[in-house]
Structure 1
Amino acid sequence: MILPILLTLLALPAHQHRFFAALIPLWQAIPGRVNARNFSRYSGWNERTLRRWFQKTLPWAELHWGLLQLLVRLGVLEGRFILALDASFIPKSGKNTAGVGAFWNGASHRSETGLELSCLALLSWSGHHAFPVHVQQTQPRGQKADRLEQYLDQLVSFLEQRRTWLARHLRVVVADGQYAKTMFMDAVSREGYAFVTKMQCNANLLYPFTGAHPKRRGGRQKWAGKVDFINFDGWARVPGEDRERVWTRVVWAPRYARLLRVVVIQNVDRRGKVKGHVVLCSTDPTLPAEQIRALYSARFRLEFVFRDAKQFAGLNTCQLRRTVALENHWNAAFFALSLGRAEVLLEEAGRLQRPASQMMFSYEDIKRRAYNRLFARRILRNLGLEARFHELEKHPSRPLDLGVKAA
């Protein structure tokens, strides 16, 4: 188990060490809704114990960060990362819950009443594994600054706090189209990283003028015309998938007052007719078009983290009201998910000698094994045979894998 090693390395106070050592295995094992009432059913805790703990400020940032650093130190993850930023809608009702407001729900494609969390995650350079490192609640309009300013404050604070480590391991910051703003590009560029995002399909872009300037009065000509996304003369064609045409060029973006490497991906039908296009960009004009596309595609790994956390880790089942309690619940769900991923990576790396990019991960299987361990340990304890639990873990028939799906 990697959790005792991590808690020892972090040198947490004894009471926090005991709390996290009991909380996370239970969080992974409990079936159904993950809340205080269910904790009291599957452990010796009183229902109020978890509620009291979650009213305190807990060192989740150190746990997230310590787990990632431990994996790098053990050589399970390579030393290059992508920083992804995204927000997720959390259904919640109740007039007394802090931060309830109207937020965009991507599942229903409309704004709904509930909560929103903003998550920063470090993705492995291959894009196969994502580890949340900072989670905070977004306050609705009227209670705090604009939500984009809240996202920016979170990003800037994280980049400044972890500047020394990130300077060695981070290369690119990736976010979707809602973060395609000047303030995000400027903040990321100041720290020396490239910012990759998605632009509007009709973005205002200009061709830099490269020809001989006419002899006339006035300033020198700067622009050679506007990009219309129809005529791609002068653009470089790059390889793409079937029924795609991919073009790239460095152009000027007046909205951001900077040169951008733009990648246009056209979707074509069987007859070769263009049915639509997507526009990606990078603040680093030297970044290859293939890499820009791969980096933006890697961003979707964070969406899978949100999915697993909501379906299996109890992200949506919080029954607390205060912001600090909500953030504690969300961090616990993400950390339990990350810990399960880390255990699989360590096991597979040691047993099969495969790189992390080739490993399969299912948090549903992690929960099944955790529940089987909890159930088996409870039976053996009641029979006075708890000392023989290790025999189940090492048995060739793998009885603790009962119900695990084949990957």
Structure 2
Amino acid sequence: MALKFRAKSILPGCRAYGGRTAKTFASNFKTSVDWMKVNIGMAQDCFGPSDDMAVAIDPSFISKSGSLTYGIGRFWSGVAQRVKRGLEIMAIGAISLSKHTCVMLGAVQSPDFRTLESERHMSMLDWYMALVRSKATELLSLTDILVADAFFSKYEFVNEVIGMGFRFVGRLRANSYLRYLAMPDSSAPRRRGRKKKYGEKVDFSSLDMSVFTSFIYEDSKGNKTRCHTAVVHSRALKRDIRIVVCPVENADPLLYFSTDTDMRPEKIIGFYRTRFQIEFGIRDKQFTELQSQQTRTGIGLTLRSIFPFTALNVCKRGHKERLSGLSLAQFKRLMFESYLASTIISTCGKSPHIKIIQKINHRLAQLAA
């Protein structure tokens, strides 16, 4: 997308760190770049060709004051556990079971509910479906597994993404209405009429172990849990699904599911729990200045949502390769202090001995740690 920016609002500090004026950066940003494709390439390079990848989506709340900003409205904040006034972005990431990490692919700003309802005659769920549809071709080039939290486990959304070519992995509420599939009984007398398609309702307090299969799931920390899996019918989703029941002491069991009934239950649990890695990507947006944006236009906000995640991917790549022992905050501090030291050295107009430079860098690394 070719975009034009207000240089002062979009690119704060670029003269100080980039050595160029904000106008120069804004002119270069007019060039059309497919940032989603760039991030998908980084994900493929990081994870490699494997079948343990999935695409995760998650809406994220961003604080924003004022009344003239595009899309400002009332959205759910997971941190505050209530609806707050601000902005919302739909974050998209690629997760890997083997590496247990997430590469952020991008983000798109959500319009406020009033705009959707009055101008587009859409609900928020309709908007999320339209967003996934617009990115489906690019995402399917990476993987055909889509993971989302329990909010998206609705017939309209699940049916739509399956039609796009995805296999959906999600979670159900503990009171979900599930039915056993009808088991043919050869000894029963033949009767007229349609054969029975479904059996009794699944009672999670007393599972039919002639249908369910038990297995031991071991998470990344070595904790083991006895879980149960079976193919059942979901009345809400109107389809057969593979359900995985994970008991929880003194609480309702956790119900994970996949629309792919042949998917291994360990992968269903793994994909859903690894989905949480996208939360860390959203959390780390604080290190790439997403929260401090000043632009108010819709196009600027959308692109401003993508840049921090691309910068985050590049930062994480360099961080993992060079200083994996540091946190991202420590890595950012180290990069800033190294930049500060090099600025001081270049400003002095002298070329210190290489051993002195190494000593300074070593001291900065100690400060960051």
Return the TM-score normalized by structure 1. 0.76
Return 296-305 or 393-402, whichever deviates more. Answer: 393-402
Q: In 2, are the aligned partners of 1:127 and 1:301 still within 8 Å (CA)?
A: no
Structure 1 residues 215-230: aligned runs within 5 Å: 215-230=190-205
Superposition deviation, residue 146 in structure 1: 1.8
Match of 1:142 in 2: 114
Paired residue for 1:303, among 279, 283, 288? 279
Find the aligned partners of 2:366 and 2:35 in 1 and give their Cα distance.
Answer: 32
Structure 2 distance, partners of 1:240, 1:162, is 29
Distance 1:223 1:67 in 2: 46
Residue of structure 1 in register with 2:216 after alignment:
239
**SS of alignment partner, residue 113 of structure 2:** coil
Structure 1 residue 218 displacement after superposition: 2.7
Describe the shift of the 1:392–1:334 C-alpha distance in structure 2 as closer, same or farther (beyond 3 A).
farther
Q: How far off is 1:152 after superposition?
A: 1.6
Superposition TM-score, scaled by structure 2 size: 0.83
- Residues 36, 392 of structure 1: CA spacing in aligned structure 2 closer, same or farther, 3 A cutoff? farther
SS of equivalent residue, structure 2 residue 108: strand
User: 1:362 is matched with which residue?
Assistant: 327
Aligned to 2:63: 91
In terms of mean alpha carbon deviation, does 208-217 or 316-325 score higher?
Answer: 208-217
In 1, the alpha carbon distance for the partners of 2:366 and 2:62 equals: 32
**Change over 3 Å in CA distance of 1:171–1:390 after alignment to 2:** farther
Which of the residues 231, 240, 264 maps onto 2:245? 264
1:398 is matched with which residue? 362
1:52-90 deviation line (CA, Å, top 9, x unaligned) = 877987543343234334xx2xxx533222111111000
Deviation at 1:334, TM superposition (A): 1.1
Instruction: Give, in angstroms, the shift of residue 193 of structure 1.
Output: 3.8
The offset of 1:110, in angstroms, is 0.8
SS at match of 2:280: helix
- SS class of match (2:38): helix
In the alignment, is the contact (CA less than 8 A) between 2:40 and 2:105 conserved in 1? yes
Determine if contact 1:393/1:400 at 8 Å carries over to the other structure. Answer: no
Partners of 1:197 and 1:392 lie apart in 2 by 55
Asked if the contact 1:127/1:298 (under 8 Å) is kept, the reply is: no
Query: How far has the Cα of 1:291 moved from its partner?
Result: 1.6
% of aligned pairs identical? 26
Partner of 2:344: 379
Q: Does 1:319 align with 2:302?
A: no
The structural deviation recorded for 1:240 is: 4.3
- Which residue is 1:351 aligned to? none
Query: Letter of the aligned partner of 1:135 in structure 2?
Result: A
Residues 276 and 139 from structure 1, CA distance in 2 versus in 1: closer, same or farther, beyond 3 angstroms? same
Is residue 77 from structure 1 mapped to residue 77 from structure 2 by the alignment? no
2:172 equivalent among 187, 191, 199? 199
Query: 1:138-196, CA deviations, whole angstroms, 9 ceiling, x for partnerless residues?
Result: 01112122222222222222222454x33xxx252111111112243334434544211
Note closer, same or farther for the CA distance 1:396–1:77 as it changes in structure 2 (3 Å cut).
farther
Alpha-carbon contact 2:233-2:241 (below 8 Å) kept: yes
CA distance in 1, matches of 2:268, 2:353: 50
- Between the aligned partners of 1:92 and 1:367, the Cα distance in structure 2 is 24
The alignment of Structure 1 onto Structure 2 pairs a total of residues equal to 351
Is contact 2:229-2:242 (8 Å) kept?
A: yes
1:337 to 312, 320, 323: 312
Instruction: Supply the distance in 1 between the matched residues of 2:254 and 2:175 (Cα, whole angstroms).
Output: 10
Q: Contact 1:244–1:267 (CA<8 Å) still a contact in 2? A: no
8 Å Cα contact 2:10/2:295 also seen in 1: no
Contact 1:206 1:224 in 2 (8 A): yes
Residues 222-260 of structure 1 show CA distances to partners (whole Å, capped at 9, x for unaligned) of 221111211112222221466955221110012222111
Instruction: Give the structure 1 partner of residue 78 of structure 2.
Output: 106
Comparing 148-157 with 133-142, greater Cα deviation is found at 148-157
Question: Relative to 1, partners in 2 of residues 1:90 and 1:396: Cα closer, same or farther, differing over 3 Å?
Answer: closer
CA distance in 2, matches of 1:389, 1:209: 80
User: Which one of 217, 227, 230 corresponds to residue 249 of structure 1?
Assistant: 230
1:66–1:395 CA distance, 2 compared to 1 (3 A) = farther
Greater CA drift, 196-205 or 129-138: 129-138
Tell me how far apart the structure 2 counterparts of residues 389 and 192 of structure 1 sit (CA, whole Å). 60
Name stretches of at least 5 consecutive residues in structure 1 with no aligned partner. 1-12, 17-22, 24-33, 269-273, 349-358
Aligned to 2:119: none
Cα distance 1:132–1:345, how it changes in 2: closer, same or farther (>3 A)?
same
Query: Is the aligned partner of 1:124 residue 2:96?
Result: yes
Secondary structure in structure 2 of the residue aligned to 1:321: coil
